[in-house]
Amino acid sequence: MKWPKLRAIGPSLWGIGVFLLVLGGLAPWIPRFPLTILVNLLIFAALAYSLNFITGLTGYVNFGHVVFMAVGAYTLGYTVGTIRLHPLGGVALGGLMALVLALGLGAVTLRFRGVYFAIASLVTPLAGLNIVLVLPALGGGQGILLNIGFDPLSWFYTIWAIIATEVGLTYWITHGRLGYGIRAIKSDEDAAKSLGVNAPRLKLFLFALSGLFAGATGGVYAWTTSGVFPEAAFDLTFSLRMLAMIVIGGMGTLLGPLIGAIAVYLPSRFFLTIFIGTESIIIGLVVIVIALFVPGGIVGTLRKYVPELRRILE
C-alpha cells in the first residue's frame, strides 16, 4: 500500500545532505583548531539527533540520555586502554553497549508515561556514576586516561558518518507507516494501541536507536578528550543541553537537532570566556522562553507562521 508522504519530500534532507557533503569535502583543508571546534559542534548535533529519536518523535522526555554517552565513552576507554583496540572499534562497541543498555532500561522505564518516565530517566545517570566509582577496572574515581593522540580528521569523519546515518534513519522512520504509528503514539498512546499500533515495541525500537547513537557519539567524545572521567561522563547538564538543543531547534523535526546544536553550541562557545558559570543559566532561560512562547522551536515556529517554508523545512 502507498502511504502518502507526511510532508512534502526532500528539500530539508537535500539541504542537510549537501551541507554534510560540503563539510566532508572541505574538512582536510580546515586548520586544526577550527576543525576541533567543528568536531565538538558535530558531537553535540549527533547527540541531539540521538535524543530526537525518542524524545523528539514520541514525546518521552529523557533526562538520563547522558548515561548512554557515558557507556559509549567508558567502552571506548576500556577497550582502547586495555586491549589496545583501534578507537573506531571502541566507537562501534560503545554504540553496541549503549544499545544493549537501552533495550534493558527501556523495557522497564518505557512502561511509565509522561512525567513518570522523565523521573525514572533522571535516576539512571546517578546510578551509573555510583556504579562506575566502585569499579577499579574502570578507574574508579580517577577515570581512564588514554594516550591515543590528536587526530581531528579521523574524529571528524567518524562523527560525520554518525550524523549522516542518524539523519537518514530519522527521515526513513518519519516517512511512511512507522511515522504514522509514531505520530499516533505521541498524540494519544492508548488510541494508537486501539488501532493496532504496537506501541511498546515501537517505543523500544526508538529508545534503542537513541541509545546506539548516543553511545557511539560518547565513544567519539572520549576519543577527542583522550580519556574518560566519571564526573564529566555522567554530567546531567549534558542531558539538559541535548534537550535544550532539540527544544530550541524543534522537537521531532529533521532539521531541528542540527539547528538547535548550532544555536546552543556556538553561543556557549563564545560566551564561555565572558560569562563564566552563567552559561547554564542563559540556556535554561532560553529554553523556558521557547517552551512558553514558541513550543515548536525554531523549525516548528517557522513552519507554522511562514506557509511558504512548510514545503522546505521539516
Partner 1 sequence: MLRLDGVQAGYDGTQVLWDVTLAAEKGAMTVLIGPNGAGKSTTLKVINGLVRPTRGHVVFQGEDITRTPAHERPGKGIAACPEGRRLFPLLTTEGNLRLGAYPKGARSSADETLTYVYELFPRLRERARVKAGRLSGGEQQMVGIGRALMSKPSILVLDEPSLGLAPKLVSEIFVKIRELREAGLTVLMVEQNAYAALRIADFGYVMQNGHVVKSGPPNQLLDLEELRKAYFAIP
The residues binding partner 1 (CB under 8 A) are 1-4, 6, 177, 180-181, 183-184, 187-188, 190-200
Least distance (Å) from partner 1 to the CB of residue 50? 24
Rounded CA-CA distance 299/257 in Å is 10
Element (H, E) at 227: strand 227-228
Residue 65 or 303 with smaller CB distance to partner 1: 303
Nearer to partner 1, 24 or 176 (CB): 176
All residues at 6 or more sequence positions from 249 whose CB lies less than 8 Å from its CB, including other chains: 48, 255, 256, 257, 258, 259, 260, 261, 263, 297, 298, 299
- Least Cβ distance, residue 86 to partner 1 (angstroms): 43
Q: In angstroms, give the least distance from the CB of 186 to partner 1.
A: 9
Contacts of 64 (CB under 8 A, 6+ apart): 121, 122, 123, 124, 125, 239
> Of 198 and 278, which has the nearer Cβ to partner 1?
198
Q: What angle do CA 157, 24, 36 make, to 5 degrees?
A: 60
Measured from the CB of residue 204, what is the shortest distance to partner 1 in angstroms?
A: 13
146 or 254, CB closer to partner 1? 254
Helix, strand, coil shares of the chain, percent, nearest 5, are 75, 0, 20
Q: Which three cell numbers stand for residue 115?
A: 512525567
Residue 4 or 307 having the CB closest to partner 1: 4
**Least distance to partner 1 from the beta carbon of 184, Å?**
6
Least distance between partner 1 and beta carbon 298 (Å): 19
Of residues 164 and 178, the one with the C-beta less far from partner 1: 178
First-last CA distance in the chain: 24
Answer for the pair 262, 308: CB distance below 8 angstroms, yes or no: no
d(CA 149, CA 159): 17
